């Protein structure tokens, strides 16, 4: 619906990484706030959470009776694989829009190495990446 640009979604996603709570709800709240202020924020948050709560409530009332059935266990294994594929698809989409040149690739690689080797909080990494992005933009570097 073109409520926000792709770049704004990436920014909201990056910012949401450092906030407590569910990533999708945080991003939806930011988009809702961007569009309609506090009411948009609340509507987007409720719109994101309500279906999940309803579905989980219904499923949990039935699933405990069927948890030990082998076909149900296989179904959940399939659901997990499907969810993993969706997450991977989102990562690829973000990659294509974010890593646009060699400098972005270098910032990504450096951030990934720091994250995996030193186990630093995502909040700190996002702040460092933001500062690097500002410095690169202000200096006019291009790759």
The verdict on residue 142 lying in a domain is: yes
Domain that holds residue 113: 99-143
Structural domain contains residue 30: no
Instruction: State CA 134 to chain mean position distance.
Output: 22
Give domain status of residue 117, yes or no.
yes
Q: Would 104 be classed as within a structural domain? A: yes
Return the pLDDT at 143.
Answer: 58
Residue 128 domain flag: yes
Confirm whether 54 is domain-assigned. no
Note the helical H segments in the chain. 6-17, 23-63, 70-98, 102-118, 122-139
Residues of the chain falling short of pLDDT 70: 142-143
Query: For the whole model, what pTM was predicted?
Result: 0.50
Within-domain flag for 32: no
Structural domains counted in the chain: 1
């Amino acid at each position: 619906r073109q409520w926000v640009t792709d770049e704004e979604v990436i920014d909201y996603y990056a910012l949401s990484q450092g906030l407590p709570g569910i990533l999708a709800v945080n991003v939806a709240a930011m988009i809702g706030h961007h569009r309609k202020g506090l009411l948009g924020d609340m509507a987007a948050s409720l719109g994101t959470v309500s279906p999940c709560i309803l579905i989980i409530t219904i499923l949990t009332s039935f699933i405990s009776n069927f948890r030990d059935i082998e076909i149900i266990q296989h179904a959940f294994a399939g659901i997990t694989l499907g969810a993993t594929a969706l997450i991977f698809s989102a990562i690829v989409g973000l990659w294509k829009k974010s890593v646009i040149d060699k400098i972005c690739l270098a910032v990504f690689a450096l951030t990934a190495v720091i994250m995996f080797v030193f186990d630093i909080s995502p909040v700190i990494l996002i702040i460092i990446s933001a500062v690097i992005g500002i410095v690169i933009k202000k200096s006019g570097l291009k790759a």
